[in-house]
Structure 1
C-alpha cells in the first residue's frame, strides 16, 4: 500500500481534479466548503502521509518492545509511545496542511459556483483588475486580512514546529 501511496505523489493534481469533482458532485458537496475542508482535515495529501510514515519509522523499536513487555497492546503503544515522539511532526503536518488548504486557489474555483462563497484568496484576485485599475487600499487591506489566520496558526504552533525541526536535525 505504501508504494501505491508513493506512486500517487507523482500524479499531478490536475489529473485528479475531474475524478474528485465527479465524486464530490455525487455526494452533493459542490457549491459548499466540504470538498475543501474534509480532505484537508483528514490529511488527504500523500506528501503528508509519507512524511508521517517516515518519522514513525524513525521511532526506536526498542521503546515499543519495552512497552510490549510492560503489557501494552498495539493501540496503547501507539498512543503512549509513538504519538508523543512524533507530536512535533503531527503539528508540522497540521500546520502545513492548514496553509495549503487556506491558500488554495484552484479548489474553490472548481467546487464553488457562487462568487459570494469564494474565500479571501479568490476575493483578493477579484479586486485586481488590469483594465479598470487597482484600488490599492482595498487590495492591501484584504491582503492583511488574508494573511492573519495563517500567522495566528503559525504563532500558536511555533513551539511544537521548532521542536519538530530540532528533532529532525538530531535523529541522523
Structure 2
C-alpha cells in the first residue's frame, strides 16, 4: 500500500462511517413511519380486547374473524362498496387518459388562436380549491338530475377537468422532437392519426403516471362521494369505512380489517406501476 493510500485511509473510513450512520437513520425513520400501518395490520388480526393492550407488533393469537365480521357488518356487504369504487375509479382512469392526453396534444403540438390564454386559464384552475367549485357543481348536477348517481363523479372527467394531468402530459410531449410530427405528415398522417398512432405509444410513461395518480386520488376521494351520493348501495369504500366507524361502536378489529382491505388495491396498483411512475415523473419536462 502506497503512502497516499495510507493517508487517505482515515478519510475513507470516516466517509464509510457517515454513510452507515445515514442509512441507519433512514431505516429508523422508515420504521417509525411504517409502524402505525403495521400496527393496524396486526391489530386487524387480533381480538378487540388485545388491540389497545398490546402496542407491539408481535404475531400472537391471530384470527381472520375481524375480516369476516366486518365484511357483512353494514346494510350492504363490502363487495358492493368495492364494486362501486372500482367502477368509478376505472372510468376516471379511462377518462383522464383519453381526455387529458388529447387536450395535451392540442396544447403541445398544435397552433391555434388564444392558445396561451387557454393554457393559462387551464393551469389557473389548479389553484382553485375544490370547495370553491363544489356548490355550483352541486346546483348544476341537481338541475340535471344527476344527484345520487355516479355521473357527477365520472362524466366531468371526460372533459379534461384534471388540469394537473394535462400539464403533466404537455410537459412530456414537449420533450419529443417535432421531427416526428413532420415525418408523420409526410407519410400522410393527419393530426389525430399522429396523436393516436405515434404520440400515444411515445408518452406511455406519462399515461401510466396519469393512471396511477387517477387511481389513488379517485379511490381515496371522500369529499365528492359524500356530497353527491346518499343511497347506501352507491357508497364507495371510503364512505363505507367512515359509516362503519359510526355504526361499529367499539368493534375496532373489524374496522381495522376493512381499513386494511381498502388500502390493498392502492398498494397493488402502485407496486405494479411504480416503474412507469418513476420514469414518467423523472422524464417529464426534460428536453
Give the TM-score band, short-chain normalised: 0.7 to 0.9
Q: How many residues align?
A: 170
Match of residue 100 from structure 1: 217
Kept in 1: contact 2:229–2:235 (CA 8 A): yes
Does 2:124 match 1:7?
yes
Match of residue 265 from structure 2: 149
Kept in 1: contact 2:168–2:284 (CA 8 A): no
Question: Which of 130, 135, 153 is the matching residue for 1:18?
Answer: 135
Does 2:147 match 1:30?
yes
Q: Distance in 2 between matches of 1:133 and 1:112?
A: 23
Does 2:234 match 1:117?
yes
Kept in 2: contact 1:31–1:111 (CA 8 A): yes
User: Any idea what SS the aligned residue of 1:31 has?
Assistant: coil
- Please list every run of 5 or more consecutive structure 1 residues that lacks an aligned counterpart in the other structure: none
Larger relative CO (CA 8 A, sep 6+): 1 or 2?
2
User: Any idea what SS the aligned residue of 2:215 has?
Assistant: helix
Q: Distance in 2 between matches of 1:23 and 1:103?
A: 24
User: Structure 2 length as normaliser, TM-score?
Assistant: 0.53
**Runs of 4+ that moved beyond 6 A:** none
1:57 Cα deviation from its structure 2 partner: 2.0
Does 2:166 match 1:49?
yes
Q: Distance in 1 between matches of 2:198 and 2:234?
A: 43
Kept in 1: contact 2:171–2:284 (CA 8 A): no
Question: Which of 233, 252, 255 is the matching residue for 1:139?
Answer: 255
- Please list every run of 5 or more consecutive structure 2 residues that lacks an aligned counterpart in the other structure: 1-117
